[in-house]
């Protein structure tokens, strides 16, 4: 049985990079707080002023189902404007 060498991690690819970060800690914290603040502001405005796609009126056939809704068959219903999208 062979024992593992003390510096065996020298030959593996999972080495830890101990070099300093490209930016200092204060700059990274400022960017993080700025991003979280911007996200919170956008969430607030998105919930305060929701945006929905435009919707037309619901259209039914047969004069808006005049007879099916209990209309009088002897009376002619007023014509319905059907929109084309």
Q: How far apart are CA 33 and CA 21, in angstroms?
A: 18
- Selected residue with higher pLDDT from 23 and 4: 23
Q: Given this model, what pLDDT does residue 49 score?
A: 94
Tens of pLDDT, residue by residue over 6-47, are 777 677 777 667 778 888 999 999 999 999 999 999 999 999
Q: How far apart are CA 9 and CA 3, in angstroms?
A: 14
Overall pTM > 0.85: no
Q: How far apart are CA 15 and CA 7, in angstroms?
A: 11
Question: Which of 44, 56, 46 is closest to 85 using CA atoms?
Answer: 56
pLDDT of 2 > 80? The answer is no
- Selected residue with higher pLDDT from 63 and 4: 63
List the chain domain ranges: 21-65
What stretches of 8-65 show up as alpha helix (H) in DSSP? Answer: 25-48, 61-65
């Amino acid at each position: 049985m062979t024992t593992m060498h003390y510096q065996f991690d020298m030959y593996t690819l999972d080495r830890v990079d101990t070099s300093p970060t490209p930016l200092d800690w204060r700059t990274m914290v400022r960017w993080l707080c700025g991003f979280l603040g911007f996200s919170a502001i956008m969430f607030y405005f998105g919930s305060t002023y929701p945006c929905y796609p435009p919707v037309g009126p619901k259209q039914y056939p047969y004069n808006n189902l005049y007879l099916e809704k209990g209309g009088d068959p002897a009376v002619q219903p007023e014509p319905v404007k059907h929109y084309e999208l």
